[in-house]
Chains A and B, each alone.
Chain A
Amino acid sequence: MIAETTNRLFAETPLVRKKQRREWVARLIFGMMAAAMIIPLLLIIGYLVYQGAPLISWDFLTTNPVGGMRRGGIWSALLGTIWLVGVSLLIAAPIGVMAAVYLNEYARDNWFNRIINLAVINLAGVPSIVHALFGLGAFVLFARMGRSVLAASLTLAIMTLPVIIASTREALASVPRTFREACWNVGATRWQTIRRIVLPNSISGILTGVILQVSRTAGETAPIMFTGAVFFRSISEGDFFAYGLKEQCMALSMHLYTVTTQVTGAPKPLPYAIAVVLLGTVLLVNATAIVLRVYLRSRKKW
């Protein structure tokens, strides 16, 4: 900004012109780098939608796949994803939020808590397929849950935990420390401070993080492949409780993988339509969280 005003105030020298040209080129290059990621992506998504559009309808969402998954809809896969996401969230959200409360409000800066932080970071970096191995070894085999919704959800829950912890910590840290000190000064205990001041003022941020997590969980494939998801299962259409915790289920992400790589002779738009539904679900949930965040930021109480 300063440089711009200066340029207007003083006469242009060749050096200044050269500088400006370079500035412009740099701006263009960096802008193109940003654009190079985004524009092809939009084109690809547009292409997917274009290819899948003929199949997508309400019936597509609410009927089971039939004919060796070559015809029909995706109901059982969609419902399976909803179940997996729901159950895993029920497990991960409370643990994750409380872990974040511990790390942000209780933990002092000592070696033990540094190890916890390190563990959270490493948990976030564990490859999804290793989570799958863990889920198979720990839940399916060791805990004798078998391949089931429960085992898959637990695997997903542990996978999503670090992200919930991170987003919750961020939300908690955005509550000014002066509020906490004011509470401590009047003799409030740590928990009273957390419950009456910190949580009410960060709950929106926490919720946003959890919603974002939903979108990520919905798209995961590898962790559920060997812990609870099956290629095909027919369930009663329209019944939201068609899956039990101890049963295997289909999942949208897995279904896309199966139809793309294992099923031969499927009509061409089918995998595109599944991809569009999966992508649409994920992006919709994500966008909801972003809108919520922007809205909540605009009406902060302090």
Chain B
Amino acid sequence: MATELQTELAPERAAPKPAQPERGSAPANKPARAGRGALAIAGEKLIEFVIRLCGISAIIFVFSIFFFVFREAAPLFFQKHEPPAQPEAVVERHADDHSPAAKKFALKEFLFSKEWYPTSQSNVRFGVLALIVGTLSVTALAMIIAVPFGLGAAVFVSEFCGGKIKETLKIVIELLAAIPSVVWGFIGLTVMNPIIQDLFHAPIGLNMLNGAILLALMSVPIMVSIGEDSLKAVPDSFREAGLALGATRWQLVYRVLLPAAKNGLLAAVLLGVGRAVGETMAVLMATGHAVNIPFVTADGSFNPLFIFEPVRTLTATIAAELGEASEGSQHYRVLFLIGVLLFSMTFIVNLTADLIIRGIKKR
């Protein structure tokens, strides 16, 4: 539509100044207009060019993030053999009774195997299933904790309190959002760890529950602020109509506001999910960091106490192992591939949330 407009109306700058037609009876006492210096006009052009360049920088950065992360991971798919400098690769070649093709990186194994032995001498395995399960289960448990609290707090801030309390709460929530994740991790390690051990008699306090509580606390602020925005977007006429009919606040919230704002609240939850999936330091320090599918016990049956199992997430794996993996090794490249996986996961979650929010704004 905009391009149509531009063709419809001549470009703003390219058009030459028209020759002044004869003035007729126009007053003759007009002083000549001062023109702007060529330098000023050139400077303006330059700065507008720079502004446009910065405008598209976001696209460049998103693409280059994907490109450079993928670039480090890509040789996995094209390299038939590992670099000979890798001693474990040599060992593995002997130990592996399959064919040499086993050395080839298999995407299927990467996604669906739960065996993660990146530095093993005899049996190198890069299966991230357990890590994916770890990430998803911690995130899910975090959301189970965070959603009621986050949305409840959003409702409280938006509908049940006013004036000073509201302002104070919003500021506190903003400060909550500012706490660095490494401090959260530290809290998990030093404060939550003994509390969980004492409270639930869990053998180890660094587990899924610990990480999930931290992630919940970390993702609550964004849920509150987006949730409050979407509640605020419900027209006041809805509220007035409800109250005029004699509804209590609670009835108003339950029957009018929540249905009206449900998409915004869903987006708020999704953004919380995105944040939880991508969180690194807190889960690295607080989840126990054991490659483990928490729902299954050693003998293969369902583990009802899975929330007390230590788990490991995708993000934490990268953070913990990238320092040790030698540059260019298969292990190193697999870690980058995990990065690609994470990037794609959060991309989809954020995209969905954005589409939902955009849909609300359209209305």
Contacts and interface: CB of A to CB of B under 8 A. Distances in A.
Interface of A: 1-3, 6, 19-20, 22-23, 25-27, 29-31, 33-34, 36-38, 41, 44, 47-48, 94-96, 98-99, 101-103, 106-110, 115-116, 118-134, 136-138, 141-142, 158, 161-162, 165, 189-192, 212, 215-216, 218-222, 225-226, 253-254, 256-257, 260-261, 271-272, 275, 278-279, 282-283, 286-287, 290
Contacts of B335: 133
Interface in B236-279: 240, 243-244, 246-251, 253, 271, 274-275, 277-279
B71 to A, nearest CB: 6
B281 A257 contact: yes
Interface range on chain B: under 10, 10 to 19, 20 to 34, or 35 or more? 35 or more
A220 B55 CA distance: 25
A129 B318 contact: yes
B82 interface: no
Contacts of A130: 65, 69, 278, 339, 342-343, 346
Contact of B55 (A6, A109, A116, A253): A116
Interface in B49-104: 50-52, 54-59, 61-62, 64-65, 68-69, 71-72
Q: Which of B58, B248, B277, B319 has most chain A Cβ within 10 Å?
A: B58
Nearest to B328: A141
Nearest to B289: A261
B181 A221 contact: yes
A55 B288 CA distance: 29
Q: Is the interface of B mostly helix, strand, loop or mixed?
A: helix
Contact of B280 (A107, A127, A190): A127
Given A116-B59, A161-B58, A215-B178, A221 B281 contact: yes
A256 B189 CA distance: 12
Contacts of A190: 48
Given A30-B152, A138-B64, A162-B58, A191 B350 contact: no
Contact of B243 (A3, A109, A136): A3
A142 B68 contact: yes
Given A26-B250, A31-B156, A34-B156, A126 B57 contact: no
